Structure 1
Amino acid sequence: MPSYERGRRASEAEKTQAREVSLRRIGRLFGPHRWPLAVVTLIIIASSIIAMASPFLLRAVIDQALPRQDVRLLVWLVIGMIGVAAATAALGVIQTWISTAVGQKVMHGLRTTVFAHLHRQSVGFFTRTRTGEVQSRITNDIGGMEAVVTTTATSVASNLTTTIATMAAMVALSWRLSLVSLIVLPPAIYLTRRVARMRRAITEQRQRELADLNVTIEEGLSVSGAQLSKTLSTGSALVERFTASSRRLIDLELRSELAGRWRMASMSIIFAAIPALIYLSAGLPFSAGALSIGTLVAFTALQAGLFRPLMGLLNVGVTLTASLALFGRIFEYLDLPVEVDDPPSPVSLEHPVGHLRLEDVSFTYPGSPTPAVAGVTLDVPAGTSLALVGETGSGKSTIAGLIARLYDPTAGRVTIDGVDVRDLRLADLAAIVGVVSQETYLLHTTIRENLRYAAPSASDAEIESAARAAQIHDVIVSLPDGYDTTVGSRGHRFSGGEKQRIAIARTLLRDPKILVLDEATSALDTSTERAVQQAFDRLAQGRTTVTIAHRLSTIRDADQIVVVDHGQVLESGTHETLVDSAGRYAALAA
């Protein structure tokens, strides 16, 4: 294993040890379902009490009905046994139905809460997080918790009440033999605690390994990943990486299973020895004749029946302790602060006109020693166009991200019509600011649904009108399935220019007052760029436009052009004035 991989895993292990999971916090997940759980608890208690009648009925059969050949009594006792079995079975079905429904609702709530919270995270979170890690937390970690969430509460109640009722019945039959049976508890508790600690450590390792496996799948089997591996011929290396990760999972699963099996084997031996000790105790001189055959048989049956609920109760402890690693990973995500969130008292722009200002704005990426944007002030009146030019890494895209509030400035403010964007609801801001970037992302669905993703209530006529304005309608209708054509993963079925025009149509449906074009044509050939630029020109009409471009030919007619370098504004003006000034822009235009 590479040294950087060992370092990363060591760091994650330290984080896991530092995370303390409160059982009270886990219990709060079940708070909204307290009444169904109370009903389940009552059913469990009733079922356990009813089931305890069986050994006493058995004793009566052996000690009274059979020796006296009392058929009437025997029939009633047998009917009682059948009735007990039927009642406990019916109650068990009801209990399972209610408890499973509660467990699934808790799982649903947890999944949706995690997804919604992660969806509120800033773009910075997703750039810092490994590809596939987020999906692994939601699917593997929450999926691994399902058994615990759906069965723990009822399992504890069921096994606890059954254990208490069984031990009470054993004491009622013979308190002396009950003392003999209790010798099983100390080794059972000791072995259970050892296994619980082992399972928790193994579970944490397994979930990290599953996350690595998910990352490998995401990176190797996505469209972009597959293209990269084929062009670099790294397929065999990816297969080896996947195989090694899968092999480590085998080892972890074996260790986890064996950790429980040797405990179960040890307890089985101990429980098997208890009946022999009971028979021995019953035959010793001090207890000879004190116990009837029926009592001895009934007590032995109870003692044998104690094994299942007692081990079930101890297993819940093992499972819950092991699952703390899963809860810790999920709560870690739920505890992430939301860096870019809706304001507590949002301001509403009833009729935005699109006057954009950046007032002494600075921004530094987390962990970076230097600011990406430093003291930038810009004024873009409504309906005018601004072009940002500069070398790669000069801060142009960061400025665009600040306008769309993908990040919040560390100093200064961005305003629209005089209102700080941080005072607007994110949904309202997204309706005002439309972004088309170089990397167009299309969903793996139909063209129609990709366009409707921007405006769910848009009619087919509105969708086609937007596509005509973006000059992509003729391309779409020429396809066999027209607007119902599936675009493929990330839109790889279409060329770069076609994807851009679909993105333009999608933005048109939102009808934003401010349009941000972030190097949207830099990857296109000249003829395609010309067609896309015409669509942009149509899109920009009546809107405030911020364009980031390397090709100066696309921004010559902008109302103002700003040259950015190392996050600062070097010069600004129109194309003619900047060329005449013989500064940085003139050098770029030469």
Structure 2
Amino acid sequence: MQEEKMRQPVSWRVTWKMMRPIVARYWGWIVLLILLSVAAACLVVSEPYLYGHIIDSVTSSVSGHIAPADGFAAIVPLLAWWAGIVLVESLLVAFAAWIGWYVGNMLELQIGERSFARILALSIHRFQDERAGAMMSRFANGKEAVWGLNNQILRVAIPSIATFALIVAVGLHLDWRLTLVALAMVPVDAAIGLYHLRVSLRRQDLMNDKWEETTGLAGDAFSNITTVQGEAGEKLVMGRFAKTYMQVLREQLRINVRWAVVDASTSFINISGRLLTFVVGVQLVFAGTTSLGTLVTFLGFVSILYASVQNVFAGLPEIARSFSRLGRLAHVWDEVPEVRDRETARPASGLRGEVEFDDVVFKYADAGRPVLSGVSLKIPAGKTFAVIGESGAGKSTLAKLMVRFADPTQGAIRVDGIDLRDMTLATLRPQVGFVMQENMLFHDSILYNIRFAKPKATREEVIAAAKRAQAHEFISTRRSSCSTRRRARSIRRPSTICRSRCAR
């Protein structure tokens, strides 16, 4: 079910639903960036205009037999303006670049933090249904995609579109004929780019799914390295990884070839557009209906115009790749955790620990029959209670229901007479100690691992918890300090640390 959900097409609506509140926080910066881009575009467009005036002034001085010194003096103000424009344009571009980087970094930070929180809130079985490596890949790729889209849209597309629009407006004012000639090839350019973008979006989404599969295979191998090495399975794992990777790479190369063809096509169209403008412009100059300076201006306009178009379409592969990755992360945001707080849930404070299972039935979604059926029992507070049974009888399921990794299909579980579903998860779980048969420690210090359930615990409280769990002597005999990060994962009895965590 979850796999089918993750394979659904990327949705603009779902992606924008995720991004809208984050983008809104930096809307002022984005508007400022757009204004700076428009201002810089005005200066970019003015350069060919000034250059054309300089050419007309020079040709007029030559044809009028004006002294070279006087002719040069006539263009000095224009040269001064040109130098000033270049200086101001450089400053605007630099400031706009800084804003673009700042907004990109902040958006990446926000999407990273919020996505991490969303993923951590997913139900436990969600992580059992999907490889951890694939989930990590989706998280990392989605976070980085924000930067890619920010760069292509705010720093490339918007300035290019603003420049394009201004060139068209000024060009129509100077000579509408040359403007229409210059624009003649743009629709062809746009049609090719947009068609390939639509096709690539669909294919890139499938490719991102495959890339995540390769990361998931690697993650499986790393997390099960003892089994891999113990069974001499390196060649088997590597062969499967290499086969999957080559399949993905071949398909990715097909997409890249498609974009290479698009790039070559747009380059040919751009050169054709410049050549067409030059041929028509020369004819107009010979006919005396336009000046040489105007033609030179338009040649500059055409170069900038097609460069703007090419900049936008050159970024389409990155936009397709980034949007696909961001869309896959957005689908995770759109998931509703199966285990969540009720609207009427209240904080659980000071639980004594009287546990009651009232006719509890539990069935896994993919199971044919219930794991637990009609379980009823009552455990007084402070008492030790053991459940004995064969593998698969439901012992671990009982423990998982206690900490609300899942909720009963039928019946209720109460602590101190209160249904667990009427307590908030954030206040219930810290009061329920949980040690599994197989325990993993965080790649951090022993101190961090024991403090995990109570981050503000003092060192003395940590030591007291370790003593209650009969782990203090074991920890003290280790050569490394309790706060040494690199030694925590090397502990041979991680359950002792987990018991200390529960003895808080």
Q: Establish whether TM, by shorter chain, passes 0.5.
A: yes
**Paired residues of 1:16 and 1:328 also in contact (CA < 8 A):** no
**Paired residues of 1:362 and 1:410 also in contact (CA < 8 A):** yes
**Paired residues of 2:356 and 2:377 also in contact (CA < 8 A):** yes
Give, in angstroms, the shift of residue 14 of structure 1: 9.5
Match of 1:455 in 2: 454
| Identical residues among aligned pairs (%) | 24
Q: Does 1:21 align with 2:12?
A: yes
Q: Which amino acid aligns with 2:497?
A: I
**Paired residues of 2:167 and 2:301 also in contact (CA < 8 A):** yes
Q: 2:424, 2:18 → 1: CA distance?
A: 32
Give, in angstroms, the shift of residue 254 of structure 1: 2.7
Match of 1:503 in 2: 498
Give, in angstroms, the shift of residue 418 of structure 1: 1.0
Q: 2:142, 2:274 → 1: CA distance?
A: 42
Q: 1:487, 1:48 → 2: CA distance?
A: 53
Match of 1:119 in 2: 120
Judging changes above 3 Å, is the alpha-carbon distance between structure 1 residues 507 and 330 closer, same or farther for their aligned structure 2 residues?
A: same
Matched residue SS, 1:47: helix
Deviations 1:94-151 (A, max 9, x none): 1111122112222222222221111111212112122312111101343244311343
Matched residue SS, 1:378: strand
Give, in angstroms, the shift of residue 460 of structure 1: 1.4
Q: 1:286, 1:457 → 2: CA distance?
A: 81
Match of 1:202 in 2: 203
Match of 2:390 in 1: 391
Match of 1:328 in 2: 327
Which is richer in strand? 1
Judging changes above 3 Å, is the alpha-carbon distance between structure 1 residues 230 and 282 closer, same or farther for their aligned structure 2 residues?
A: closer
Match of 1:186 in 2: 187
**Paired residues of 2:54 and 2:75 also in contact (CA < 8 A):** yes
**Paired residues of 2:197 and 2:316 also in contact (CA < 8 A):** yes
Judging changes above 3 Å, is the alpha-carbon distance between structure 1 residues 232 and 385 closer, same or farther for their aligned structure 2 residues?
A: same
Structure 2 gaps of 5+ residues are 62-67
Match of 1:63 in 2: 56
Q: Which amino acid aligns with 1:209?
A: K
Give, in angstroms, the shift of residue 345 of structure 1: 3.0
Bigger mean CA offset, 343-352 vs 464-473? 343-352
Deviations 1:221-253 (A, max 9, x none): 23xx22212222211121222222332343244
Give, in angstroms, the shift of residue 298 of structure 1: 1.2
Give, in angstroms, the shift of residue 325 of structure 1: 2.4
Q: 1:466, 1:286 → 2: CA distance?
A: 91
**Paired residues of 2:465 and 2:503 also in contact (CA < 8 A):** yes
Q: Which amino acid aligns with 1:57?
A: L
Give, in angstroms, the shift of residue 194 of structure 1: 2.6
Deviations 1:48-96 (A, max 9, x none): 1222221221122111146424333322111111111111111111111
**Paired residues of 1:451 and 1:505 also in contact (CA < 8 A):** yes
**Paired residues of 1:181 and 1:274 also in contact (CA < 8 A):** yes
Q: 2:148, 2:446 → 1: CA distance?
A: 40
Q: 2:402, 2:43 → 1: CA distance?
A: 69
Bigger mean CA offset, 343-352 vs 229-238? 343-352
Judging changes above 3 Å, is the alpha-carbon distance between structure 1 residues 124 and 274 closer, same or farther for their aligned structure 2 residues?
A: closer
Q: 2:390, 2:236 → 1: CA distance?
A: 36
Match of 1:45 in 2: 38
Q: 2:151, 2:232 → 1: CA distance?
A: 46
Q: 1:97, 1:14 → 2: CA distance?
A: 36
Deviations 1:378-399 (A, max 9, x none): 1112122322122221222211
Q: Which amino acid aligns with 2:72?
A: V
Measured on the aligned residues, the alpha-carbon RMSD in Å equals 2.4
Q: 1:500, 1:442 → 2: CA distance?
A: 9
Normalising by structure 1, report the TM-score: 0.78
Q: 2:422, 2:406 → 1: CA distance?
A: 14
Q: 1:350, 1:316 → 2: CA distance?
A: 54
Note the 1:321-360 alignment, pairs <5 A: 321-360=320-359
Structure 1 gaps of 5+ residues are 1-7, 510-590
Note the 1:402-417 alignment, pairs <5 A: 402-417=401-416
Q: Does 1:36 align with 2:29?
A: yes
Q: 1:183, 1:369 → 2: CA distance?
A: 65
Q: 2:89, 2:52 → 1: CA distance?
A: 20
Matched residue SS, 1:387: coil
Which aligned segments of 4 or more residues in structure 1 are displaced greater than 6 angstroms? none
Matched residue SS, 1:361: strand
**Paired residues of 2:172 and 2:179 also in contact (CA < 8 A):** yes
Give, in angstroms, the shift of residue 469 of structure 1: 2.6
Give, in angstroms, the shift of residue 500 of structure 1: 2.1
Deviations 1:496-530 (A, max 9, x none): xx322222112112xxxxxxxxxxxxxxxxxxxxx
Note the 1:52-201 alignment, pairs <5 A: 52-65=45-58, 67-68=60-61, 69=68, 70-201=71-202
Q: 2:88, 2:284 → 1: CA distance?
A: 41
Match of 1:565 in 2: none
Give, in angstroms, the shift of residue 161 of structure 1: 1.0
**Paired residues of 2:214 and 2:245 also in contact (CA < 8 A):** yes
Q: 2:26, 2:284 → 1: CA distance?
A: 55
Judging changes above 3 Å, is the alpha-carbon distance between structure 1 residues 287 and 322 closer, same or farther for their aligned structure 2 residues?
A: farther
Note the 1:212-251 alignment, pairs <5 A: 212-222=213-223, 225-251=224-250
Give, in angstroms, the shift of residue 24 of structure 1: 4.7
Match of 1:549 in 2: none
Q: Which amino acid aligns with 2:271?
A: A
Bigger mean CA offset, 152-161 vs 327-336? 152-161
Judging changes above 3 Å, is the alpha-carbon distance between structure 1 residues 283 and 471 closer, same or farther for their aligned structure 2 residues?
A: closer
Matched residue SS, 1:207: helix
Q: Which amino acid aligns with 1:228?
A: T
Judging changes above 3 Å, is the alpha-carbon distance between structure 1 residues 425 and 110 closer, same or farther for their aligned structure 2 residues?
A: same
Give, in angstroms, the shift of residue 317 of structure 1: 5.4
Give, in angstroms, the shift of residue 302 of structure 1: 0.9
Give, in angstroms, the shift of residue 488 of structure 1: 5.0
Q: 1:333, 1:134 → 2: CA distance?
A: 10
Q: Does 1:361 align with 2:353?
A: no
Pair member with larger Rg: 1
Normalising by structure 2, report the TM-score: 0.91
Deviations 1:350-382 (A, max 9, x none): 432211111111111112221111111111121
Match of 2:64 in 1: none
Deviations 1:400-432 (A, max 9, x none): 111111111111111111111111121221232
Q: Does 1:473 align with 2:472?
A: yes
Judging changes above 3 Å, is the alpha-carbon distance between structure 1 residues 395 and 286 closer, same or farther for their aligned structure 2 residues?
A: same
Give, in angstroms, the shift of residue 41 of structure 1: 1.3
Match of 2:265 in 1: 266
Q: 1:272, 1:167 → 2: CA distance?
A: 18
Match of 1:494 in 2: 491
Match of 2:438 in 1: 439
